[in-house]
Amino acid sequence: MKFEKVVFAFFIVLALTLNFGFFLGDIDNPDHHDAFELSAALAVSLIATVIKFGDRSQMGAVLLATSLVADLQLLIAAFIWGYSSFVSDAGVTSEVISSVVSLSGGALLANLVSVTILVAETITIRR
């Protein structure tokens, strides 16, 4: 077992699970979604992206693309939440939370594709 492969898979799966934890709950209820969980999901997703830069295969390119999509959506979600919290007079409304959670859902889908590709690649290597 290669330690680098374990770390690689760990961060991919952790990005998915943190994003899933943030995504769960009523879409428009700010009490069901924690800003720190979104921050953790974004941080781990960025780490997973950096790790994916080392893979030069076609599968690695697809994994990197899915990770970049997740990063972009989580960054936009964090920006919207931060803007509404600290700049906007309206504050964090149910519409803002709905937008943030929807973007997180898109990132969740990208992370799910990434994990699916990782599992598929692992299965094909074993055979």
Question: Each residue of 21-42: pLDDT tens digit?
Answer: 999 989 988 889 999 999 999 9
pLDDT at 57 (0 to 100): 81
pTM score, whole prediction: 0.91
Rounded distance, CA 101 to CA 25, Å? Answer: 9
Q: Is 25 left (phi over 0), alpha (psi -120 to 50) or beta?
A: left
- Look at residues 112, 38, 44 and name the one whose alpha carbon lies nearest to residue 77: 38
Rounded distance, CA 33 to CA 48, Å? Answer: 22
Share of the chain above pLDDT 90, in %: 69
Q: Who wins on pLDDT, 55 or 122?
A: 122
pLDDT at 91 (0 to 100): 84
- How many domains, in total, are found in the chain? 1
- pLDDT averaged over every residue in the chain: 91
* pLDDT at position 55 over 80: no
Q: Give 53-81 as a DSSP string.
A: TT--SHHHHHHHHHHHHHHHHHHHHHHHH
Segments forming the whole domain that contains residue 85: 3-126
* pLDDT at position 127 over 60: no
